[in-house]
Structure 1
Amino acid sequence: MKLQTARLEIRDFVPNDAADVHRYASDPQVTAYMIWGPNTEQETADFIVRAIGMQRRQPRLDYELALTLRESGRLIGGCGIHVSEPEQGEIGYCIDRAHWRQGYASEAAAALLRFGFEELGLHRIYATCRPGNIGSAAVMKKIGMTYEGHMREHMRHKGGWHDSYQYSILRREYMKGQMK
């Protein structure tokens, strides 16, 4: 599984990615708005095992993918798309702090939309973020997603209840944007 953008190669994780993933997955600033982390080395190793296991499932409904720079091959984050219901999917992304504010999350998220609509044949793709994660909300807006609402205290993690903002895009909206 490989997707390419102007600056990124998005590919399946391999066992040798664990150290690079742990670099960002153990960073409290990177994981502040995630429902996981900061990871221990074992948690990161377990994630890699789960991500590789997803690659073997048929039909494949879950894609946890490594974000690497095309020019150097350096792993700078991860992203994913998960088919949650017939013809619907959820995307997510996480970037190493050293590579924030360079447009990589938007580039990866746009590639996931393209894959979801053009390859997986999805009707609707959605994503969520914590209300304080203004960077992630900006990514969702930039790639053409529409704000759907504020889900109040709908998930419990890291010792408390948390809110989320939800965004989505429909296939017809995506296709209309591609024609511009």
Structure 2
Amino acid sequence: MESERLEMRPFSEADFSFYKTLVQNERVMRYINGGTALEEAEARSWFERQFGRYEDDRQTGFLLLEKKETREPVGFAGLILQEVDGVEELEVGYWLTPIHWKVGYGREAANRLMREAFERGHDRLISIIHPENKSSQNVARANGLQWEKDTVFNGIPVVIYSCRLSRLFRG
């Protein structure tokens, strides 16, 4: 899968060290996992979970994001099945290295993944966002998602943004 500037591909074992740099970075994790960076074993568990997600056509799992021109990894993004308030939902999410924040990669990756979800037959899509993460809320709104509710996800207060993909990708 690709967007204008990014290639998106499933992780391979060789990508674990890059993955770990993100999930162990306090700035990246500020609004994720209760603000706690992952220890080695937990990072490994989260990483390996992706390989099972790749087997489920309803989701993409997290995909490595690389700049097309240089193959430099900038983060990861994906369509992930989540349970929110007892309902299975498809979430679009992304994590970027801090040096790649605020240049549009998150918006670009999320938008491409939203189109992928629509092409796979999904109509409803959500983003689960920490209430203080204004940048991610801005990305969600820029891609056509709207605030739906405040709730608790995995013991952490969050806001849910949602959209109907059929309204965004007609024809």
TM-score bin (small chain): 0.7 to 0.9
- Relative distance call for 1:139 and 1:58 in structure 2 (3 A) is closer
Structure 2 matches for 1:45-64, cutoff 5 A?
45-55=44-54, 57-59=55-57, 61-64=59-62
How far residue 103 of structure 1 moved from its aligned partner, in angstroms, is: 0.6
| Offset from partner CA, 1:32-79 (integer Å, 9 cap, x none) | 101274122333222222212322x35554522111111111111111
Distance, in Å, in 1 between the alignment partners of 2:28 and 2:56 is 32
- Relative distance call for 1:121 and 1:141 in structure 2 (3 A) is same
Please name the residue that 2:43 is paired with: 44
- Stretches of structure 1 that go unaligned for 5 or more consecutive residues are none
Q: How many residues align?
A: 167
Please name the residue that 2:21 is paired with: 23
- Stretches of structure 2 that go unaligned for 5 or more consecutive residues are none
The code of the aligned residue for 1:168 comes to: S
Please name the residue that 1:115 is paired with: 116
Identity of aligned residues (%): 26
Please name the residue that 2:135 is paired with: 135
| Offset from partner CA, 1:82-127 (integer Å, 9 cap, x none) | 2458995211111111111111000010011010001x11011111
How far residue 172 of structure 1 moved from its aligned partner, in angstroms, is: 2.4
Mapped contact 1:83–1:89 kept (Cα < 8 A) = yes
TM-score (norm. length: structure 2): 0.87
Distance, in Å, in 2 between the alignment partners of 1:165 and 1:13 is 28
- Relative distance call for 1:87 and 1:130 in structure 2 (3 A) is closer
Mapped contact 1:145–1:168 kept (Cα < 8 A) = yes
Distance, in Å, in 1 between the alignment partners of 2:53 and 2:166 is 29
Please name the residue that 2:167 is paired with: 173
**SS of residue matched to 1:23:** helix
Give the RMSD, CA atoms, in angstroms.
2.3
Distance, in Å, in 2 between the alignment partners of 1:150 and 1:58 is 28
TM-score (norm. length: structure 1): 0.83
The code of the aligned residue for 2:113 comes to: L
- Relative distance call for 1:45 and 1:88 in structure 2 (3 A) is closer
- Relative distance call for 1:140 and 1:60 in structure 2 (3 A) is closer
Deviates more, 1:34-43 or 1:9-18: 34-43
